[in-house]
Amino acid sequence: HYRMPNHELLIDLKRFNRFDLTFIQGKRVGVDFTPEELLTQGYRAVFLAIGASAANFPGSRGRSLPGVLPALEFLYDVNQGRPVKVGQQIVVIGGGDVAVDAVRTSRRLAPHCLGHHGVPPDPRGVPGG
């Protein structure tokens, strides 16, 4: 929950209580359950909002070097108020919404960070993205 301030998240969660919603977390689609199984259990709709819940470094060399961080870990640490060191030069590998969030957060921590190069993010994601 790095994209939204905690107080706003709590407000939204209270709003969700007005609806008959079930959140399934920590389960694997296709392993622990299938959407078809949920529909047969009486749910009228199944919304898969999986997102980028974990870093994906398939075959990447150098991922354990000092200064190399998964973007989600970086964003979570900043959101939790943990000290995060950002150097004079920053590179964000990727071009999705998480990459843009990492760039925007880096720019707040180190204003000399200029931007990103890659696939444009979904413009509906976050204002200013």
Residue 31 has pLDDT above 80, yes or no: yes
| Arithmetic mean of pLDDT, 40-50 | 76
Instruction: Yes or no: say if 99 and 72 are a contact pair by the CB < 8 Å rule.
Output: no
Query: Per-residue confidence at 104, pLDDT binned at 50, 70, 90?
Result: confident
Global model pTM greater than 0.85: no
Does residue 121 or residue 32 have the better pLDDT? Answer: 32
pLDDT of amino acid 125:
54
CB atoms within 10 A of CB 102: 24
Backbone angles phi, psi at 33, to 5 degrees: -165, 165
Q: Which amino acid is at 1?
A: H
Domain ranges of the chain: 1-51, 61-123
According to DSSP, the residues that pair with 33 across neighbouring strands are 29
Structure confidence by residue, pLDDT tens digits, 53-76: 666 665 666 677 677 788 888 888
Does residue 126 or residue 37 have the better pLDDT? Answer: 37
Question: H-type helices in 1-129, by residue range?
Answer: 6-16, 35-40, 71-79, 97-109
Structure confidence by residue, pLDDT tens digits, 72-90: 888 888 888 888 877 666 7
